[in-house]
Amino acid sequence: MYQRIVLVIARLPVFSVLFAIALSSVFSVSTFAANTIDGIRLWPAPENTRIVFDVKEQPDYKFFTLSKPNRLVIDFSDTKNTVSLRNLAVNDPRVKLFRASMSQGKTRLVLELAKSYQLTVFPLAPAGQYGHRLVIDLYDENRSKQIIAKPKQSAGDIIIGIDAGHGGEDPGSIGGKGTYEKKVTLAIAKKLQRVINQEKGMKAVMIRSGDYYVDLNRRTSLARDNHVDFLVSIHADAFHTPGPNGASVWVVTKSRAESELSRWLVNREKKSELLGGGGGVIKNTADSHLALALADMSKEHSLGVSFGVANNVIKELKKITKMHKRTPQNGNFAVLKSSDIPSILVETGFISNHDEEKNLTWSTHQQRLANAIHQGIKNHFLSHPLTGSYFASIGYKSHKVRSGESLSVLAKRYNISMSKLKSVNQLKSNALRIGQTLKIPRTG
């Protein structure tokens, strides 16, 4: 083949020979580059934008920034770009435009930026459904001071942090019909946010409000920055077989995993960090050290609150869905480790189970789950109101039903209406049973 090309070129005029050589050089570079850029994804978030380059092999790259105007330049050695750049930045607030050029086997990508950003660039090895990646994080200069979805806080509000599991690069578990866990958790989280914000005395803070990745350590930092009183992390379970089903509620423990499922879930969390990437690249900030100190000081109180809420949430979940475990489970999950913030992790069902995958994508079922989680949290803080909270001012005391007592008798004794007593205790009828514990609202 090589000899035939030489013979053909030998018979051409000088200009044609030079043109053929140049053409063959371009052809060889574009066709035989050792690496290729096969995908580019942008994940805009409130405080940063993540840009991910999917590359065929481990990337060989260099980068630098320019100002006036602000640009980020990345040079990929011996690499061909196969991705259209035309509309990549259309919905991103930080990246205005992508441009590309190629010379001597090197692809240069220029990102025109809205302004100057803190920059982190790192490669990621293959993990899960992803191959080699180069990740760029553009952080707003004041990101450590930002507050995400901070509500207007009334005096006495209990602030509930809602952490929708996974997001962005990390899809979480994937159901048999292709359902991404990250979409299910965000849908339930948004419904929970709405129902909490409708409750007088409670306000919700979303740790993740869209489809983007938040490092696990950053999630608890954001909760702390938002002065969260309690954190609930929402997930959808998965297992290596489709058989297991049902919801469960988890609290943190420093002991070894107590069950096969617990070990499976902790390993899945580690895998998710690899998918999302960058957790070990960005160094811990001072507030992480503060968190550790606070955790040691308040661990026992925090665990008590966590178990209390977990039991109340399980009680409510049992009314609307099957439970995989009917008592709080212990797991060493990163998002629960900041013991200064009481927290639970709710596995809303098994996305790996075909029937539950269908339920988890059903808006009505998502709303039922959100209502149950909200009611469980509310019930705990009504029973154990925070000092200075609205719930403390309208809280209630407990009454254990004795023989001969009826709803009307108790309503008259405590000077409240029967309808109010039924509403507070979520009673569907006037019937009571001996030994039943009722919540009695304080009237003054």
- 201 and 297 together in one domain: yes
- 258 and 181 together in one domain: yes
Q: What is the pLDDT of residue 270?
A: 65
What is the full per-residue pLDDT of the chain (444 aa) written as tens digits? 444 444 343 454 544 544 444 444 444 444 567 899 999 999 999 999 999 999 999 999 999 999 999 999 999 999 999 999 999 999 999 999 999 998 888 999 999 999 999 999 999 888 878 899 999 999 998 765 444 444 445 558 999 999 999 999 889 889 989 999 999 999 999 999 999 999 999 999 999 999 999 888 788 888 888 999 999 999 998 888 888 899 999 887 655 434 555 555 666 666 666 666 654 333 333 334 333 433 444 566 677 888 899 999 999 999 999 999 899 887 666 656 666 788 899 999 999 999 999 999 999 999 999 999 999 999 899 888 888 888 888 767 778 898 889 999 998 888 888 988 898 888 889 999 998 888 887 654
Q: Residues 381, 199: contact at Cβ < 8 Å?
A: no
The shares of helix, strand and coil residues in the chain, as percent rounded to the nearest 5, are 35, 25, 40
- 109 and 174 together in one domain: no
User: Does 137 map to a domain?
Assistant: yes
User: Does 223 map to a domain?
Assistant: yes
CATH number, position 69: 2.60.40.3500
Q: Which residue has the tokens 């696990």?
A: 216
Tokens of 76: 């990929």
Q: What is the dihedral of CA 25, 30, 33, 37, to 10 degrees?
A: 160
Tokens of 94: 């930080």
- 40 and 24 together in one domain: no
Alpha helix (H) residue ranges in 282-385: 286-317, 354-360, 363-383
| Full domain range(s) for residue 415 | 395-441
- 212 and 337 together in one domain: yes
What is the C-alpha separation between 307 and 86, in angstroms, rounded?
52
Count the domains in the chain. 4
Which residue type occupies 268? R
Q: What is the pLDDT of residue 115?
A: 95
CATH number, position 418: 3.10.350.10
Tell me, what DSSP letter sits at residue 101?
Answer: E
Single pTM value for the model: 0.72
Starting from the edge strand earliest in sequence, which strands make up the sheet with 71-76, in order? Answer: 61-66, 71-76, 106-113, 95-103
Alpha helix (H) residue ranges in 143-281: 181-197, 216-225, 260-276
